């Protein structure tokens, strides 16, 4: 992969960088950000993936989440990919919850989306292969987290790649896209109308099918979140975990909404959760 450096700057003793490359998987140019902690100068460091939500790019978490100080202390490399393919030639939709900015971390099979909207392969194969080729990363120690649509991505990618990721967490995730308007719209558009195929992209269904993992899953949810009842439904994942005996820490917080004020409040807890698992 040939990288173009968009920016690099010192941050808590490490480097916060943003990079661009041409993605063969997505058929377009893509950006992603990487925080490299100072510990990387002395040996390989574990990797934490952060997947963002609807309408976001790689920039949102990089600028607003405030993870760099803790990542520096804990020696974690944090990678923030974009949320969908980009470019004038990439198909789009007028709505905020479909098309560009709303890739849902799936491989689309329906036209016109199938050619470019392959975010699952982009994250788990193309970008992961590049990260693994960088000598400072220890790919035997990977964790994944995300927010909202990105929380859906983190949970499903973790559950479908249990030998790859040691740890997982999420902020206000879409836990069952099969059972909410955002998910039903996205899965119909990208995958088609066969609900059996949707189950491959639903954290509750994947957990019930695959059984419990060794990980303790951490989820934070704000109770002032406007999307809590209609879109997120954490109780569905809670029930699925109880059914299969999956360890889950689900924390509900009064007064917190769906914003990055919520994420920045609890991001250090998540980094420590992953650092403990990735020792």
Whole-number mean pLDDT of the chain? Answer: 97
Q: Are 89 and 28 in contact (CB under 8 A)?
A: yes
- On whether the pTM is more than 0.75, the answer is yes
SS3 77: strand
Catalytic residues: 148, 225, 258
Query: Phi and psi of 153, rounded to 5°?
Result: -60, -45
According to DSSP H, which parts of the chain are helical?
Answer: 58-64, 68-74, 119-121, 128-133, 149-160, 181-191, 195-198, 203-210, 234-244, 260-277
CA distance linking residue 276 with residue 49, whole number of Å = 15
Residue 134 has pLDDT above 90, yes or no: no
Q: Does pLDDT of 40 surpass 80?
A: yes
Q: How many CB atoms lie within 10 A of CB 257?
A: 16
DSSP-assigned letters across all residues of 229-251: IIII-HHHHHHHHHHHT--EEEE
> 58 CB contacts (<8 Å, ≥6 apart)?
18, 31, 32, 33, 52, 80, 81, 82
Q: What is the pLDDT of residues 202-234, one digit of tens each?
A: 999 999 999 999 999 999 999 999 999 999 999
- Residue 244 token pair: 């299969």
State the Cα–Cα distance between residues 245 and 266, nearest whole angstrom.
Answer: 26
Tens digit of each residue's pLDDT (9 = 90 or more) over 44-101: 999 999 999 999 999 999 999 999 999 999 999 999 999 999 999 999 999 999 999 9
Per residue in 161-211, pLDDT (tens digit) is 999 999 999 999 999 999 999 999 999 999 999 999 999 999 999 999 999
In angstroms, rounded to a whole number, what is the distance separating the alpha carbons of residues 218 and 83? 22
Tell me if 32 sits within 8 A of 127, measured CB to CB.
yes
Quote the tokens at residue 43.
């040996």
Assess contact for 176 and 202: CB atoms under 8 A. yes
> CA 185, 100, 225: angle at the middle one, nearest 5?
60
Question: What is the three-class DSSP state of 124?
Answer: helix
Domains and CATH numbers, the chain: 3-278 (3.40.50.1820)
Confidence tier at 146 by pLDDT (50, 70, 90): very high
């Amino acid at each position: 992969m040939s990288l173009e450096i968009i920016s690099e700057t010192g941050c808590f003793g490490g480097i916060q960088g943003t990079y661009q490359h041409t993605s063969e998987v997505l058929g377009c140019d893509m950006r992603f950000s990487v925080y490299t902690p100072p510990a990387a100068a002395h040996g390989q460091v574990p990797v934490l993936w952060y997947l963002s939500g609807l309408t976001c790019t790689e920039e949102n978490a990089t600028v607003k989440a405030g993870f760099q100080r803790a990542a520096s202390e804990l020696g974690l490399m944090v990678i923030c990919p974009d949320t969908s393919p980009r470019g004038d030639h990439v198909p789009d939709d007028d709505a905020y919850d479909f098309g560009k900015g709303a890739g849902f971390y799936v491989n689309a099979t329906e036209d016109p989306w199938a050619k470019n909207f392959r975010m699952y392969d982009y994250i788990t194969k193309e970008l992961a292969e590049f990260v693994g080729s960088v000598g400072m990363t220890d790919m035997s120690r990977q964790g994944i987290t995300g927010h909202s649509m990105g929380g859906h991505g983190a949970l499903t990618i973790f559950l479908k790649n249990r030998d790859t990721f040691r740890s997982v967490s999420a902020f206000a995730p879409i836990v069952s896209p099969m059972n909410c308007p955002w998910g039903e719209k996205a899965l119909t558009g990208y995958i088609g109308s066969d609900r059996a195929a949707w189950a491959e992209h639903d954290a509750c269904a994947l957990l019930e099918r695959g059984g419990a993992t060794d990980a303790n899953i951490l989820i934070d949810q704000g109770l002032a979140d406007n999307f809590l009842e209609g879109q997120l439904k954490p109780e569905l994942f809670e029930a699925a975990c109880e059914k299969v005996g999956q360890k889950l820490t689900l924390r509900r917080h009064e007064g917190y909404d769906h914003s990055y004020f919520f994420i920045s409040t609890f991001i250090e807890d998540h980094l420590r959760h992953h650092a403990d698992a990735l020792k």
